[in-house]
């Protein structure tokens, strides 16, 4: 995909980096969602709360050197995030609002990719 259409988020969890490719028009939503999830995740009391990386940078272009790191597609990343939060067995804090935010971005990305593919045909 042309780089002007996409942006990249650099996420860090402990000493691990992850790169996520997002439509440029939706990058701010990923960054905002990540911030909100970090703010709320501390309130969860379940034992199966996933560890969540922090967005440490956004960039317009990304060229990984070597094979040590792969770039994850935005929809793939959001799908994994949704699955990990949907599996939390929480009783003390309602997850509905967090899952709603994740699923809203998930639906927007599904629509974006569908429209993008149609434009490319």
Whether 44 maps to a domain, the answer reads yes
**Residue scoring higher pLDDT (90 or 22):** 22
When pLDDT is averaged across residues 18-24 and rounded to a whole number, the result is 96
Q: What is the pLDDT of residue 1?
A: 54
Q: How confident is the model at residue 92 (pLDDT cuts 50, 70, 90)?
A: low
Whether 18 maps to a domain, the answer reads yes
Total of domains in the chain: 1
Whether 1 maps to a domain, the answer reads no
Per-residue pLDDT tens over the stretch 28-86: 999 999 999 999 988 888 888 899 999 999 999 998 888 888 899 999 999 999 999 99
Whether 93 maps to a domain, the answer reads yes
Q: Are 55 and 28 in contact (CB under 8 A)?
A: no
Per-residue pLDDT tens over the stretch 98-120: 999 999 999 999 999 999 999 98
Q: Are 92 and 52 in contact (CB under 8 A)?
A: no
* DSSP H or E segment with residue 29: helix 27-41
């Amino acid at each position: 995909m042309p780089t002007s259409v996409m942006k990249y988020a650099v996420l860090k969890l402990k000493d691990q980096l992850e790169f996520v490719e997002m439509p440029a028009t939706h990058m701010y939503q990923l960054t905002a969602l990540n911030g909100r999830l970090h703010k709320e995740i501390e309130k969860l009391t379940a034992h199966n709360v996933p560890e969540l990386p922090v967005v440490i940078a956004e960039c317009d272009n990304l060229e990984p050197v070597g094979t040590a790191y792969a770039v994850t597609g935005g929809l793939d990343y959001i799908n994994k995030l949704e699955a990990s939060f949907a599996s939390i067995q929480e009783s003390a804090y309602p997850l509905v609002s967090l899952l709603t935010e994740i699923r809203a971005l998930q639906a927007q990305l599904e629509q974006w990719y569908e429209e993008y593919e149609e434009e490319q045909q």
